[in-house]
Amino acid sequence: MNQNVLKISVILISCLLLAGFAAASNTTQSKDDAKVVSALAKPNVTAINPTSGKIGETVAFTITGANFSKTSKVYLENESDRDAKNINAKDVTSNSTSTLTGSFDIPTGTDAGTWIVNVKDNGQTSASKVKFTISK
């Protein structure tokens, strides 16, 4: 191999390695970068208030958690009958990445019992253990 080609190859590899190490060691992150990261993270539900409602009522709620956005969708899923129709929230608003507000219209004919609170965003659904009780 030509000596000049070998020298250039070694220099090029060294520069690429140094650039990679410099990029990896740069741990500063702007607020805009953090917003992009949290927008792509899986939503996490930690609480809902109130925790119950009655069939036939409209219940305004506040959900707390993490990784929420303006495109978050909220729904209740029947814990004991996963084939039952979900109850979708309406007028969902993201007040921050950790708070959602909205309301559920609980239709007549809905099964009373425990329902799981779910948030869907960016194609990902929360793995929520937070429950909402529907009574007669």
The DSSP bridge pattern shows strands 52-54 and 131-135 to be parallel
pLDDT, tens only, 23-70 = 444 444 445 544 544 447 899 999 999 999 999 999 999 999 999 999
pLDDT, tens only, 4-30 = 555 555 555 554 445 454 444 444 444
* Torsion sign (Cα): 44, 100, 129, 73: negative
- The more confident residue out of 25 and 124 is 124
Within 8 A by CB and 6+ apart from 99, the residues are 62, 63, 64, 68
Q: What is the pTM of this model?
A: 0.70
CB 105 within 8 A of CB 54: no
